[in-house]
Amino acid sequence: MRYYPICIDTLNKKILVVGGGNASYLKLKDLAKTDAHIDVVSEKFLKEVDELNNINRNIILIRENIENFEISDDYHMVFICTDNHELNMEICKYFKDKKFLVMVADSREKSDFITSAILHKDNITVSVNTQGKSPTAAKLILNETGKILNEEFTEKISLLCEIREQLKMKNNEGLNIGNIKSTMDSLICKNNSDLKIFLNDIEDSVRQEN
Ligand SMILES: C[C@@]1(CC(=O)O)C2=NC(=C\c3[nH]c(c(CCC(=O)O)c3CC(=O)O)Cc3[nH]c(c(CC(=O)O)c3CCC(=O)O)/C=C3\N/C(=C\2)[C@@H](CCC(=O)O)[C@]3(C)CC(=O)O)/[C@H]1CCC(=O)O
Ligand SMILES: NC(=O)c1ccc[n+]([C@@H]2O[C@H](COP(=O)([O-])OP(=O)(O)OC[C@H]3O[C@@H](n4cnc5c(N)ncnc54)[C@H](O)[C@@H]3O)[C@@H](O)[C@H]2O)c1
């Protein structure tokens, strides 16, 4: 596996996107859901990119030729998405020399990472890639996966998340609650009503101890 998936904490991070066309939009539509501050520098913007800017205050559109833009050194990640290959390579070199994490839309070889197709709902994030082989196939796998995320299933995930938080809290307070992993494993097959009863019981025991 050449490309290893990780989840980056976007809180208090600054991201630069160069270019405001199709490739840029594919990245921005998901970046727009993060907590990052995002500067997009481009001579022109696709209508869809303009619209993202209206709904997300963290996205700043800067209408400028990148060659005239005064680049600050406080970006954590850079997405290079212009339609000019030589320019993309030049910008890439500039940031790589500074050890920034860089993705270049028209050069997988120069990119430090690839982006996955993403579905995000409540506490669930499903991300799929095909190791760069077929983004359309990644989209297809994601659509199929999305079908299992019905209301009952997402409620089950929320309950499991809440139960784990409660167990961790008790554990941190020094209470003997057994092994969290075995408890969580034993809950996987339970239905939502049983999980709610289990959660109420832990919450009651926390209240009694306080
Ligand atoms: C998942 C998604 C997310 C996103 O973009 O963030 C994504 N591409 C998406 C769509 C898409 N991209 C392209 C088409 C046109 C059809 C086609 O070419 O197949 C479509 C289809 C469409 O638009 O429906 C063109 C394209 N893409 C890349 C190249 C260059 C190359 O292959 O080297 C070219 C050719 C450019 C050209 O020649 O003109 C490269 C990459 N695209 C990736 C991700 C990474 C690999 C992911 C993986 O492993 O599966 C990778 C390696 C790097 C990267 O960009 O991170 C998003 C889909 C989901 C969504 O809609 O959210
Ligand atoms: N990785 C991917 O997912 C993906 C997807 C689609 C296309 N691509 C590739 O990405 C590249 C861009 O394709 P596109 O469809 O987004 O092109 P596009 O024409 O839609 O967008 C190019 C953008 O770059 C901007 N730009 C060009 N020169 C600039 C400069 N000097 N300063 C600032 N902005 C400048 C333009 O204003 C425009 O907004 C192509 O090589 C394409 O093959 C990659």
Which backbone phi and psi does 118 adopt, to 5 degrees? -125, 135
Q: Coil, helix or strand for 72?
A: coil
Q: What is the pLDDT of residues 6-21, one digit of tens each?
A: 999 999 999 999 999 9
Extract the runs of DSSP E, i.e. beta strands, from 58-165.
59-63, 77-80, 101-104, 117-121, 124-128
Instruction: Give Rg (Cα) of the chain.
Output: 22
Q: Look at residue 165 in the predicted model and tell me its pLDDT.
A: 93
Q: What is the pTM of this model?
A: 0.91
Q: Look at residue 169 in the predicted model and tell me its pLDDT.
A: 87
Q: What is the pLDDT of residues 129-154, one digit of tens each?
A: 999 999 999 999 999 999 999 999 99
Compute the distance between CA of residue 122 and CA of residue 160 in angstroms, rounded to an integer: 13
Compute the distance between CA of residue 207 and CA of residue 136 in angstroms, rounded to an integer: 50
Q: Coil, helix or strand for 152?
A: helix
Compute the distance between CA of residue 119 and CA of residue 204 in angstroms, rounded to an integer: 35
The complex scores an ipTM of 0.94
- Residue position matching structure tokens 């990644």: 138
User: Whose CA is closest to atom 59 on ligand 1?
Assistant: 117
Q: Look at residue 206 in the predicted model and tell me its pLDDT.
A: 66
| In the predicted structure, residue 92 carries a pLDDT above the cut 80 | yes
Compute the distance between CA of residue 122 and CA of residue 177 in angstroms, rounded to an integer: 27
Q: What is the pLDDT of residues 33-65, one digit of tens each?
A: 999 999 999 999 999 999 997 777 799 999 999
CB of 123 closer than 6 angstroms to any ligand 2 atom: no
Pocket test for ligand 1, best of 2, 4, 15, 26 (most atoms within 8 A of CB): 26
Compute the distance between CA of residue 135 and CA of residue 130 in angstroms, rounded to an integer: 7
Q: What is the pLDDT of residues 96-139, one digit of tens each?
A: 999 999 999 999 999 999 999 999 988 899 999 999 999 999 99
User: Whose CA is closest to atom 41 on ligand 2?
Assistant: 106
CB of 114 closer than 6 angstroms to any ligand 2 atom: no
Q: What is the pLDDT of residues 171-195, one digit of tens each?
A: 887 777 778 899 999 999 999 999 9
- Residue position matching structure tokens 């994490």: 101
Q: Look at residue 69 in the predicted model and tell me its pLDDT.
A: 94
Percent of the chain at pLDDT > 90 equals 82
**184 to each of 66, 159, 180, 194, 198, how far by Cα in Å?**
50, 11, 6, 13, 11
CA of 32 to the centre of ligand 2 (A): 18
Distance spanning both ends of the chain, measured CA to CA: 49
Please, what is the average pLDDT of the chain?
Answer: 93
Minimum-distance ligand 1 atom for the alpha carbon of 128 = 50
